């Protein structure tokens, strides 16, 4: 058994053979010579190769030593045949990670190999865990994963190993696997604060913000001085729009640890949302004094103003960070920022390439967009919310005119419309409230049946008005969540007197701007041009239905292009529609001091401009899937 355990000759031979096969199958002579050319490797070829790795390894029992030997032989064979060392390292890490993932489900790895009782030596487990930690610190992520899994095979109840394994998976973009590991650690040791904190962080990265808050609060309850969890809770609260609460968390962390990078980053993001761009830049630069290559802070600098060729030093630093071995979502941060820089300086080809890479990184860690499911939802809403049913509002509905809903496709001008309205002395903006999305999920059966009961409508009306009053007691309060466009039938049944403004923008401009924006991974359709085109068609179909069935005068269509061409005329139209007197301040919306927690935090503080109209023409040669949207009626 001992000889079999250490006999690695076969593994070395497999590693050499795999390197030769990969060089033949996936890499041309020009590509094998440089790291920069690595992106030319076709994804299908890489996936086919990884399937071959799995087939070759499936009949062999690859313990720690054999995996290491296979990886080592694979790497040096690539170098021997002319592959640049840095590229060989990257490919080797991919292979090692794939082998580690293929050995077992990380959260159930203890079920894959029965470990004799005399092998469950805590000293051996401790040694492997420490070795894994060293590898993780050195950036040898695949090796660290393999070591942590070996610890778990020795001791299936090792909470530290599961927590460390989850952290290692995070570094390589295995967020689903990381979540499983953190949950397993919590199951083993419920009062262990660190995996609760780590779980909260990974849930935030995966776009499950409300769940992230719960996990982080649990971590802090178990360990009140857990400053990393407190800073991450602040970042989570920012995404939930609870900015005052977020600021309190950051300030508390910075009293104890004045150089805590996540808390400093959060304060910079908060200043940016408030329009204090100079202060925001100061905070981001303070982060970089502590951690000169922190991806999020470096990327954030590009979003504070229009970049120019004189910012080339920033671009060089960003390219260096993106090419280093950072986690996929961190690289995505930087790639989106590089895309913005290149767009600002009119280098459109390079901008699109960077945006494409950023979206591919996010898509790789997101749940796939299901086109059939989206079509089915739209079909159901159209079938259930007919003109006849919508006209029968019934009891329980509120007569309030306080709510104003600004809806539309993302990046269609909803933030601009909200800012104009919020500049009126009798109106305020509440940002993107999650209320109706949450309400629909919690009452899904009633919503699908189409007619909410009188008690439920009354309950929703009271709760929503309370939520609006929490933001302001103004005569009109704007909820600009774009995805409320799917719930207009439900909303009208509860607030038949509410006014709805639909921002309509050129579909290609709207979709391209969405593709160029770093949204939460929960918006999985925004990371692929074909998915975006599909989503837009379903959005367009549903809005045509709402226009047809809701009473006349309920919806005001505002074309974005017309609004920026004639802001005075269209501002008059909007205020008249809302029953508000004319106010000149609405034309100076860029001077209005208020928190803007959406992606348009910079644009709404500039004077109205027409530069985004027809922007897609700069990218026409790259955006084939979107061009078919030109056939849609306004």
What is the pairing mode between strands 476-479 and 427-429?
Answer: parallel
**pLDDT computed for residue 615 by the predictor:** 87
Domain-embedded: residue 201? no
Phi-psi map region of 341: left, alpha, beta (phi>0 left; psi -120 to 50 alpha): alpha
pLDDT digits (tens, 9 = 90+) for 435-477: 998 898 888 887 777 778 889 999 999 999 999 988 888 999 9
SS3 72: helix
**pLDDT computed for residue 51 by the predictor:** 61
Backbone phi and psi for residue 479, each to the nearest 5 degrees, phi listed first: -110, 115
Could you write out the DSSP letters of every residue in 473-509? -SSEEEE--GGGGGGHHHHHHH-TT-EEEEEE--HHH
Residues 561 and 605: beta-carbon distance below 8 Å: no
Round the CA-based radius of gyration of the chain to a whole number and report it.
27
- Asked whether the predicted pLDDT for residue 628 surpasses 60, the reply is yes
Which is more confidently placed, 155 or 448? 155
Q: Based on the structure, what is the number of domains in the chain?
A: 1
Residues 408 and 547: beta-carbon distance below 8 Å: no
Q: If you average pLDDT over every residue of the chain, what do you get?
A: 83
- Asked whether the predicted pLDDT for residue 119 surpasses 60, the reply is no
- Asked whether the predicted pLDDT for residue 597 surpasses 60, the reply is no
Residues 257 and 238: beta-carbon distance below 8 Å: no
Contacts of 566 (CB under 8 A, 6+ apart): none
List the CATH number of the domain containing 482.
Answer: 3.40.50.300
**pLDDT computed for residue 74 by the predictor:** 75
Domain-embedded: residue 20? no
Q: What is the 3-state secondary structure (H, E, C) of 225-280?
A: CCHHHHHHHHHHHHHCCCHHHHHHHHHHHHHHCCCCHHHHHHHHHHHHHCCCHHHH
Query: How far is the C-alpha of 551 from the C-alpha of 497, rounded, in Å?
Result: 10
- Does an H or E element contain 428, and which? strand 427-429
> Which domain covers residue 542, as residue numbers?
371-631
Domain-embedded: residue 93? no
Give the single-character DSSP code of 558: E
**pLDDT computed for residue 97 by the predictor:** 59
Query: How far is the C-alpha of 93 from the C-alpha of 74, rounded, in Å?
Result: 10
**pLDDT computed for residue 483 by the predictor:** 86
**pLDDT computed for residue 30 by the predictor:** 45
Domain-embedded: residue 397? yes
Domain-embedded: residue 48? no
Nearest CA to 421 among 477, 356, 486?
477
Residues 269 and 246: beta-carbon distance below 8 Å: no
> What does each C-alpha distance from 66 to 93, 143, 191, 219 come to in angstroms?
15, 11, 36, 38
Nearest CA to 201 among 168, 231, 238?
231
Number of CB atoms found within 10 A of residue 382's CB: 17
**pLDDT computed for residue 85 by the predictor:** 67
CA quadruple 34, 35, 41, 45: dihedral, nearest 10: 100
Give the single-character DSSP code of 385: S
Region 390-414 average pLDDT: 89
pLDDT digits (tens, 9 = 90+) for 26-76: 555 444 444 444 444 444 555 566 666 655 555 444 544 455 556 666 777
Instruction: Tell me the CB-side half-sphere exposure of residue 103, using CA atoms within 13 A.
Output: 27
- Asked whether the predicted pLDDT for residue 110 surpasses 80, the reply is no
Domain-embedded: residue 238? no
**pLDDT computed for residue 26 by the predictor:** 58
Query: How far is the C-alpha of 585 from the C-alpha of 170, rounded, in Å?
Result: 48
Question: What is the pLDDT confidence band of residue 277, given thresholds at 50, 70 and 90?
Answer: confident
pLDDT digits (tens, 9 = 90+) for 169-212: 988 888 889 999 999 999 999 999 999 999 999 999 888 888 99
Number of CB atoms found within 10 A of residue 543's CB: 20
Residues 193 and 180: beta-carbon distance below 8 Å: no
Which is more confidently placed, 85 or 242? 242
Domain-embedded: residue 212? no
Domain-embedded: residue 335? no
Q: Which residue pairs, CB below 8 angstroms and at least 24 apart, start in 460-469?
A: 460/494, 461/396, 461/397, 461/398, 461/400, 461/494, 461/495, 463/435, 463/439, 464/403, 464/435, 464/494, 464/495, 465/398, 465/400, 465/402, 465/403, 467/430, 467/433, 467/435, 468/402, 468/403, 468/430
**Both ends of the chain: CA-CA distance in Å?**
73
pLDDT digits (tens, 9 = 90+) for 237-257: 998 888 889 999 999 999 999
Instruction: Tell me the CB-side half-sphere exposure of residue 306, using CA atoms within 13 A.
Output: 9
Residues 428 and 469: beta-carbon distance below 8 Å: no
SS3 345: coil
């Amino acid at each position: 058994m001992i000889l079999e355990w250490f006999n690695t000759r076969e593994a070395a031979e497999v590693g050499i053979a795999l390197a030769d096969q990969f060089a033949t199958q996936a890499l041309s002579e020009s590509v094998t010579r440089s790291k920069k050319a690595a992106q030319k490797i076709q994804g299908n070829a890489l996936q086919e190769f990884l399937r071959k790795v799995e087939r070759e390894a499936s009949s062999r029992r690859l313990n720690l030593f054999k995996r290491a030997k296979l990886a080592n032989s694979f790497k040096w064979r690539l170098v021997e045949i002319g592959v640049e060392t840095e590229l060989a390292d990257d490919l080797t890490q991919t292979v090692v990670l794939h082998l580690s993932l293929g050995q077992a489900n990380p959260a159930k790895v203890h079920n894959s190999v029965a470990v004799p009782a005399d092998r469950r030596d805590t000293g051996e487990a401790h040694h492997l865990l420490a070795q894994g930690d060293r590898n993780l610190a050195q950036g040898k992520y695949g090796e660290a994963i393999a070591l942590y899994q070996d610890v778990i095979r020795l001791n299936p109840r090792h909470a530290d190993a599961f927590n460390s394994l989850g952290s290692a998976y995070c570094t390589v973009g295995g967020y689903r696997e990381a979540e499983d590991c953190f949950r397993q650690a919590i199951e083993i040791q419920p009062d262990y604060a660190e995996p609760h904190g780590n779980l909260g962080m990974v849930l935030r990265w995966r776009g499950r913000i409300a769940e992230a808050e719960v996990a982080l609060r649990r971590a802090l309850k178990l360990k009140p001085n857990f400053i990393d969890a407190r800073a991450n809770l602040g970042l989570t609260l920012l995404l939930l729009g609870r900015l005052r609460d977020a600021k309190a968390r950051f300030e508390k962390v910075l009293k104890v640890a004045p150089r805590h990078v996540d808390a400093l980053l959060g304060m910079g993001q908060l200043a940016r949302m408030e329009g204090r761009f100079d202060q925001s830049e100061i905070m981001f630069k303070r982060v970089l004094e502590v951690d000169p290559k922190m991806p999020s802070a470096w990327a954030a600098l590009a979003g504070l103003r229009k970049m120019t060729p004189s910012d080339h030093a920033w671009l060089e630093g960003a390219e260096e960070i993106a090419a280093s071995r950072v986690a996929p979502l961190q690289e995505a941060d930087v790639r989106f920022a590089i895309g913005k820089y290149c767009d600002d300086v009119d280098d459109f080809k390079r901008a699109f390439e960077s945006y494409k890479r950023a979206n591919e990184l996010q898509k790789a860690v997101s749940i796939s967009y299901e086109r059939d499911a989206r079509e089915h939802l739209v079909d159901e809403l159209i079938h259930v919310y007919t003109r006849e049913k919508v006209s029968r509002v019934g009891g329980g509905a509120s007569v309030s005119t306080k709510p104003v809903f600004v809806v539309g496709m993302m990046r269609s001008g909803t933030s601009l419309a909200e800012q104009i309205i919020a500049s009126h002395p009798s109106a305020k903006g509440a940002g993107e409230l999650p209320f109706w999305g949450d309400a629909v999920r919690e009452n899904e059966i009633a919503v699908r049946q189409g007619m909410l009961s009188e008690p439920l409508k009354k309950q929703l009306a009271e709760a929503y008005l309370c939520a609006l009053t929490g933001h302001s007691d103004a005569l009109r309060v704007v909820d600009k969540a774009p995805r409320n466009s799917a719930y207009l039938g439900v909303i009208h049944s509860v607030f038949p007197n509410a006014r709805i403004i639909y921002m309509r923008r050129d579909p290609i401009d709207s979709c391209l701007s969405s593709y160029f924006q770093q949204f939460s991974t929960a918006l999985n359709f925004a990371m692929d041009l074909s998915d975006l085109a599909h989503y837009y068609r379903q959005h367009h179909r549903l809005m045509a239905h709402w226009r047809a069935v809701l009473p006349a005068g309920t919806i005001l269509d505002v074309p974005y292009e017309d609004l920026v061409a004639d802001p005075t005329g269209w501002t008059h139209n909007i205020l008249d529609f809302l029953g508000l007197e004319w106010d000149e301040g609405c034309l100076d919306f860029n001077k209005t001091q208020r928190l803007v927690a959406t992606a348009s935090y910079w644009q709404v503080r500039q004077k109205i401009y027409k530069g985004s109209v027809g922007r897609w023409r700069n990218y026409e040669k790259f955006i084939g899937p979107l061009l078919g949207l030109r056939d849609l009626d306004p």
